[in-house]
Amino acid sequence: MNGVNDFAFKIGTVNGTGSASANGLLMRSIFRMGIPVTGKNLFPSNIQGLPTWYEIRVNADGHLARAAEIDMAVALNPATYAKDVAEIRPDGYLLYDSSWPLPQALNREDITILGVPFGRLCVEAFTGDRERTLLRNIVYTGALAALIGIDMEVIDSLLNETFGKKPKLLDANHKAIRIGYDAAVELLDCPLPFRLEPMDATSDSILIDGNTAAALGALYAGATVGAWYPITPSTSLMEAFTAFCHKYRVDEETGERKFAILQAEDELAAAGITIGAGWAGARAFTNTSGPGISLMQEFLGLAYYADIPSVFFNIQRCGPSTGMPTRTQQPDILSMAYASHGDTKHPILFPADPGEAFEMAVQAFDLADQLQTPIFVASDLDIGMNDWMVKRLTWDDSYTPNRGKVLTAEDLEKIERFSRYRDVDGDGVAARTLPGVGGKGAYFVRGSGHDQHADYTEDSAAYCELVDRLRRKFSHAATLVPEPLVLTQEGAEIGLVTIGGCDLAVREAQALLREQGILVDVMRIKAFPFQEEVKEFIESHETSYVIEQNRDGQLRSLLMIELGIPKDSMIPILDYGGMPLTARVVVEAVAGAPAGVPA
């Protein structure tokens, strides 16, 4: 890092003081300059008054995982000065508010310390506490613009877009930006050695968070019933879905709505609503996070055993228990895969970024209908809530939902007896009917023992027949879920296996290791159940690493159980402190091996 279009900086503020908008403005300006950029918001599980950070990474090559090194810290929260300054790389930079003398806690010998009196400038230029607090964020944005070379025209036009209809506000923001910019130019050596230069690398891309993208996927897949209970970091998924439905699904004349979104009383109810709606024939989903996954276990078993389509978005956060609700992890892999008591297995899709969150949301609804079972989409806080740079989302208008095997009244007329759970095709999926269909279509769904006719049974053979069919169905699922993404290099003997949001860091590690002369192949698993080729990839490498974000190596466990891959042939790289993965963690583990192999 540290150069033109290749650096990272981190802004430390206090939550509830309005810095989020300023951070967004920074990100977006860089993006508009055509330069690949990413931002990670590190916020506390509270509403006001506690430390919060925003990390921005710029990388011309498109390596947009979380940066391993901070080139510059912008320290605006006295409570975290010590921590913030400690994170700056050697020879890095610190920007602080020099309205007061340099605090002892910020002093460090091996860095360059830059001061701009943000507070004083605001006091001079604006009136009222509220305005001063708010605009201080814009002032530091202006200073940063000067320091790293953000195009002021880009900023101006973003401000115009945002505040176009509020002239007073627009003026204040323009003024604040300019004050910060001018002060930096006047007081400091601008720009810094690491700085921006316009590129053209973002024109086919967007900045979007995974929850918004997943909500769009649900919208486009034709989901009509959404049930949820608020929980960080999954809340914004249903909020976005709600907003999109209001935008696209309300009859202009009558005001009638083509959707039903139910804020349930808890996660059990949210799951129940989803399953009830799925049974009734709607594309239905719920979104939740860790504690919700625990609370939904009973219903997941019902839907599994009674073959009910339903989609569960799990925006994973740091567990166990309430854990760290505003920190990211991939800790629920086993809880999802084998959710509920009894013998159960559930398909899971693992998007790696918001673009895939969109795609996989759509796939999830198709799979749920095709497989008549709950489908998980396992995102995480980092994907779900942070803005990622991804390819523009597109839609193929020839898409029609794959509703799987559903018998209509006419279909029913042609058959002698409708047996809800009879596996006619040998793929483990039996045709269903929807409530409301007449004729022979009625059946009685239940979570208790039932035979292929959906009749109650306590008979061993009938019970086994049914659960054996479900096992067959799960094997069949492996042929329908997306295949892993494999990135090979000629001559590589090391394989890196990973999942979901670790993707960018692992790919960056692949590149960095290559620079060190270490060739590695990468396989990112996109779904559970695994295909045989997952096994082949691992077996075909002398050494394989499994990189994931949980303490217990849950993906690795699943690979052992489901594919029979020996534990020892997969070296775990586990990063579970709650931060998005950096390439450095992977590089150090691989390049440092065997000494660096964790237990």
Q: How far is the CB of 326 from ligand SF4 (least distance, A)?
A: 14
Least Cα distance to 330 among 590, 26, 579 occurs for: 579
| Residues in region 393-452 near a second copy by CB under 8 A | 446-449
Structure tokens at 316: 């994973």
CB nearer a second copy, residue 90 or residue 564: 564
| Residues in region 72-101 near ligand SF4 by CB under 6 A | none
Binds 230: which of ligand SF4, ligand TPP, a second copy, none (CB < 5-8 Å by kind): ligand TPP
| Pairwise CA distance, residues 150 & 156, whole Å | 11
Window of 20-28, 71-79, 224-232, 485-493 that interacts with ligand TPP by CB under 6 A: 224-232
| Residues in region 266-285 near ligand TPP by CB under 6 A | 267
CB nearer ligand TPP, residue 68 or residue 315: 315
Encoded one letter per residue, x for contact with a second copy by CB under 8 A and - for no contact, window 447-486 reads xxx--------x-xx-xx--xx--x---------------
Structure tokens at 31: 């993006």
Nearest position to ligand SF4, beta carbon: 47
CB nearer ligand SF4, residue 49 or residue 164: 49
| Pairwise CA distance, residues 510 & 492, whole Å | 11
Contacts of 296 (CB under 8 A, 6+ apart): 267, 268, 270, 271, 286, 288, 312, 339
Q: How far is the CB of 291 from a second copy (least distance, A)?
A: 6
| Pairwise CA distance, residues 418 & 439, whole Å | 10
Q: How far is the CB of 436 from other proteins (least distance, A)?
A: 6
| Pairwise CA distance, residues 288 & 543, whole Å | 36
φ, ψ of residue 169 in degrees (nearest 5): -70, -40
| Residues in region 318-337 near a second copy by CB under 8 A | 318-327, 329, 331-332, 334-335
Please name the helix (run of DSSP H) or strand (run of DSSP E) that holds residue 572, with its range, or none. strand 570-574
Are the C-beta atoms of residues 234 and 211 closer than 8 Å to each other?
yes
Q: How far is the CB of 276 from ligand TPP (least distance, A)?
A: 17
Structure tokens at 457: 């049974």
Encoded one letter per residue, x for contact with ligand SF4 by CB under 6 A and - for no contact, window 30-69 reads -----------------xx---------------------
How close are the terminal C-alpha atoms of the chain, in Å?
A: 31
φ, ψ of residue 49 in degrees (nearest 5): 95, 5
Binds 331: which of ligand SF4, a second copy, other proteins, none (CB < 5-8 Å by kind): a second copy
CB nearer a second copy, residue 44 or residue 482: 44
Structure tokens at 426: 């040998």
The reply to whether 528 sits near a second copy by the rule CB under 8 A is: no
Are the C-beta atoms of residues 329 and 380 closer than 8 Å to each other?
yes
Binds 229: which of ligand SF4, a second copy, ligand TPP, none (CB < 5-8 Å by kind): ligand TPP
The reply to whether 302 sits near a second copy by the rule CB under 8 A is: yes
Structure tokens at 61: 């090559």
Q: How far is the CB of 331 from ligand TPP (least distance, A)?
A: 15
What residue type is 419 in one-letter code? S
CB nearer ligand SF4, residue 19 or residue 286: 19
Q: How far is the CB of 276 from ligand SF4 (least distance, A)?
A: 25
Are the C-beta atoms of residues 373 and 427 closer than 8 Å to each other?
no
Are the C-beta atoms of residues 64 and 504 closer than 8 Å to each other?
yes
What residue type is 165 in one-letter code? K
Q: How far is the CB of 175 from ligand SF4 (least distance, A)?
A: 31
Helices (H), 111-166: 118-125, 129-148, 152-163
Encoded one letter per residue, x for contact with ligand TPP by CB under 6 A and - for no contact, window 319-358 reads ---x------------------------------------
Least Cα distance to 431 among 403, 459, 456 occurs for: 403
The reply to whether 262 sits near ligand TPP by the rule CB under 6 A is: no
Are the C-beta atoms of residues 567 and 560 closer than 8 Å to each other?
yes
Binds 231: which of ligand TPP, a second copy, ligand SF4, none (CB < 5-8 Å by kind): ligand TPP
Triad 379, 258, 282: Cα angle to 5°:
60
* Binding-site member from 292, 309, 351, 572 for ligand TPP (CB under 6 A): 292
CB nearer ligand SF4, residue 263 or residue 475: 263
CB nearer ligand SF4, residue 140 or residue 229: 229
Q: Go through 178-193 and write b for each residue having 16 or more CB atoms within 10 A of its CB, e for each that does not.
A: bbbbebbbeebebbbe
Structure tokens at 412: 């029913």
What residue type is 301 in one-letter code? G
| Pairwise CA distance, residues 499 & 21, whole Å | 31
Structure tokens at 47: 């509403």
Binds 592: which of ligand TPP, ligand SF4, a second copy, none (CB < 5-8 Å by kind): none
Number of amino acids touching a second copy (CB under 8 A)? 63
The site for ligand TPP (CB under 6 A) is made up of: 229-231, 267, 291-292, 295, 322
The site for a second copy (CB under 8 A) is made up of: 44-45, 290-291, 293-295, 297-298, 301-302, 304-306, 318-327, 329, 331-332, 334-335, 338, 340-345, 446-449, 458, 460-461, 463-464, 467-468, 471, 550-552, 554, 557, 560-561, 564, 566-568, 576-579
